[in-house]
Each structure stands twice: as structure tokens, then as C-alpha cells.
Amino acid sequence: MKIAMTIKTFDEQGVLDEITKKLSSMNLNIVYTHLYLEKNNFGSINLELENVEDVEYVVKTLKHLEFIKSIEVHNSLIDIYGKRIIIIGGGVQVSQVAAGAITEADRHNLRGERISVDTIPLVGEKEISDAINAITRLPRVRALVLAGSIMGGEISNAVRKIKKEQNINIISLNMVGSAKNEADIIVTDPTQAGVMAVMSIADTAELDINKIKNIRF
């Protein structure tokens, strides 16, 4: 069984190390973790665990650690926010793609899906390539939309890299530059690109991106 939990701790050195050792001693596997500092010298650690047989035992065992303030068991991020679409590029193009993606995601989410849409308008080859490379460090990403008027060079290299490392659908606007050639599909209309990004990852849709790869729309 998989579970997710948030552990509130006092901000002390070695806290995360002690928690992971304790979880490892119970033969639990950590599939996701995120740590951040809160006010008043407290820390918050979000964990998603698998191979859990007895949730109460796990919580009780962790609470024996003196630096832990509280533990909350809750749904995972994939259960709450679901699959994630990232839209990167110029402001106007990003907003138009987002309009299509959000409208289409709303339609599928009403039918039981969980799809969230993230956007970041950026200018500059380095800035955009850095953002694309960082996608490999983000959870839940299932699709990337390249929404700009010109992308190439290091951006193309970044797209090629994440395609090798992660199972992510790549949708590109029909723009100037070589980056679009790394995409699974190329779409001229920004709104349609957003719609197709959602349909390519939605279980409630009938679009199979593998059947339309390398086609321009």
C-alpha cells in the first residue's frame, strides 16, 4: 500500500537522515520527498511511501523520535493534483495555450480526472533551456508544451534530453527554430495545442499520441 504524510519537526541537524533510517528499518520505500522550513524554526517534510502494511504502526514508530512535533497522513499529490502539464515560452503564446489546456482539463476533471496546468512565460535561450532541464526534477509532469515564436539551440538539446530521461509528451507550436522538430506533435493553433496536450494524457480521452506522432496540425 502507498501512503503520503506530512511530518512537522523541529529544525535540527540530521532530522531527515534519522527519519529515513527509521523508515528504512521498517522496509519502507520513499518514492517522493520534499522538505521546507516554516516559521518559528519548524520544518515540514512531505513523504510518499510504498510497501506500507500498517499505517498506525509507522506513525507510532516515527512519533518516538523526539524531534517530531506532529504527523498527518493524507492523499498523495498525484491523487490531489493529478497529472501535470507544463507550458513554457512567450507570454502571449503561453496564455493562449493555457486557455485551451485549462478549458479542456476542466472538462476531463469533471469526469473524474485530475490534471493541473502550470505556466511560465520566459524569454531567452538559456532561461528556457534551464526551465526545460528542470522538468526532470518536478513531480507528476506528463506533458510539456513549447509555446513560443522561436526556439532552438540549447532549447532543442534540453528537449531531447528530457525525452530520453522521462516519459513526457512533447507538444510544440509551429514556430521558427529546431526545437519543434524534437516534439511528438506540432500544432499551429495555440488553443488547440493546449487542448491536445490535455487529451494526450487524459485517461478519459481517446487520443493516442503514438498514432499521430510527427504530424503537423
**pLDDT exceeds 80 at position 16:** yes
Q: In angstroms, rounded to a whole number, what is the distance separating the alpha carbons of residues 90 and 93?
A: 5
Length of the chain: 217
Would you state the pLDDT for residue 199? 93
Encode pLDDT of 92-121 as tens digits. Answer: 999 999 999 999 999 999 999 999 999 999
- Its pTM stands at 0.84
- Terminal CA-to-CA distance of the chain, rounded, Å? 42
Would you state the pLDDT for residue 185? 93
Q: In angstroms, rounded to a whole number, what is the distance separating the alpha carbons of residues 117 and 97?
A: 10
